[in-house]
Structure 1
Amino acid sequence: MSTWLRSSRIAAILLSVIRVYVGWVFLSAGWSKVFGPEPFNAIGFLKGAISKSSGEHPSVQQWYANFLENFAIPNVELFNFLVPAGEVLVGIGLIFGIFTRFSSLMGAFLNFSFLFAGTISVNPNLIIMEFLILASGMNAGRYGIDSYLKPLLNKATSNSSKTQSIS
């Protein structure tokens, strides 16, 4: 299965569809935060997540609530920038197949952050799709800009290795 996922052209086509879909979800979410009618402010979301950390069956673990309360809220302006910028960049990266695996990894990081904050939504579905992209190696970016970047990166790496061996 993993060989097929990493080398098959049919898998590359299916992965491209998944990649573009996940990218569109991220780009849409980030775009609405950046260009929406109201400026994005994460404070309500962060406080809501903290409130879900108490009670008989908390959906947010205490360690994450502590992180939100002691780091995220005091630095909310940073999060107000990072969340929409991250969503837009992940979206662009996945839609166009630019640094596909890294974009997918960063998307999974955002999805896990939202899950830790007690928000289910589409996050588990996106994480499964992102893991498929990660498991596929370079095949998920075969029909994207990565296919043009890979030879350039390989050449740069090869030249760097030759230079180091000469020294």
Structure 2
Amino acid sequence: MENTSTPVSTTSFGLRYGLLTGIVSVIYSFILLAANMEQNTALSLLSLVILVGGIFLAHKKYKENNSGFMSYGQGLGIGTLVSLISGLLGGIFRYVYMEFIDPSAAQRTIEQTRAKMEEAGNMSDAQIDQAIQMSQRFASGPLGIAVAIIGSAFIGFLITLIIAAITKHNRPEFE
């Protein structure tokens, strides 16, 4: 029996769910930034839950549109693309927010980071200043967007390695 269904594209699912995940992440980031809660570790980890949910949903919908099948490689590609697109939207949002909407948010973050480093007590003032200068270089402007994209893609890839192993359902070889 020949399979006459049209093949579905992993790229289209990665893009679609990357945009959806990115939009949800941007809304969540906006809420955290507006409430001055972006330094709260527990709330920040919730953004990973959003990413995991977006990847899982993309895999689920891909399988629904592909006769219930998805290989590990397809899952890995979809999840990495979801992470990449979501990271791009998040990086652009963060840049726009910090540069145009609330420039004082960047200064608040720096002050909170400095306070945490001083509280830890394992760095001198010169080392803290140097660390903060380095983080400012990598967190602002177009370089900040690039770091957000690369970081999100890397973290998303690592997460997707696990999720794709769980959600894969290979097509039988002798069908």
TM band (smaller chain): 0.3 to 0.5
TM-score (norm 2): 0.36
TM-score (norm 1): 0.37
